[in-house]
Amino acid sequence: MAAAIGDRTDLVVVAQSAGGFTAPPVCDRVTVKLLVLVAPIIPAPGEAPADYWVNTGYDKEVRDRYDDAIALYYQDVPAELAAEALRRARGQAEARMAEPSPLGAWPDVPTRVLICRDDRLFPPGFLRRVARERLGITPDEIDGGHAPALSRPHELADRLQAYAAEQGLPASGPRS
């Protein structure tokens, strides 16, 4: 990922869900103005992905259980788009889940956490607690389930634009 950035500047790194494990190390390798975690896993330095669930008490969290991927991840996404998302989904590799994160400390980058009030995978109470315990951050919240880029793209884009503006970064072009 860092190589793909090249010589770009004024970067905002946005990570969704499990991207919370990959984005912080990127912020250690390149100059980043802002890190935004959306409906995220928030890793502790040196934590292996496989250990996250126990370390955060996820299994003790009061939440509804869903066996259906659409009900868990895409409950508020239009049906046709949710089906397309499932068709295009790739399984997450299990091979490196036991490897500790290379992150020695959270990157020295302004960080925002954006949670979704109707997220069935990461209930808001769980993410509020984890963001507070691990980052000392009170997350921002938007309506929607676990996939706001699909269910509420304009609201998500507006929020990301506002975060960038708070950092003094130029606005990107108009959205359609």
Is the residue at 172 inside a domain? no
Instruction: Find the CATH number of the domain harbouring 81.
Output: 3.40.50.1820
| CB 81 within 8 Å of CB 150 | yes
Number of domains in the chain: 1
Is the residue at 68 inside a domain? yes
> CA 74, CA 68: separation in Å to the nearest integer?
10
Judge whether residue 142 has pLDDT over 70: yes
Q: Which H or E element spans position 82?
A: helix 79-88
Instruction: Give the tens place of pLDDT for each residue, 31-65.
Output: 999 999 999 999 999 999 999 999 999 988 878 88
Domain that holds residue 14: 2-166
Is the residue at 150 inside a domain? yes
C-alpha distances out from residue 88 to 85, 91, 92, Å: 5, 10, 13
pLDDT on residue 6: 80
pLDDT on residue 3: 76
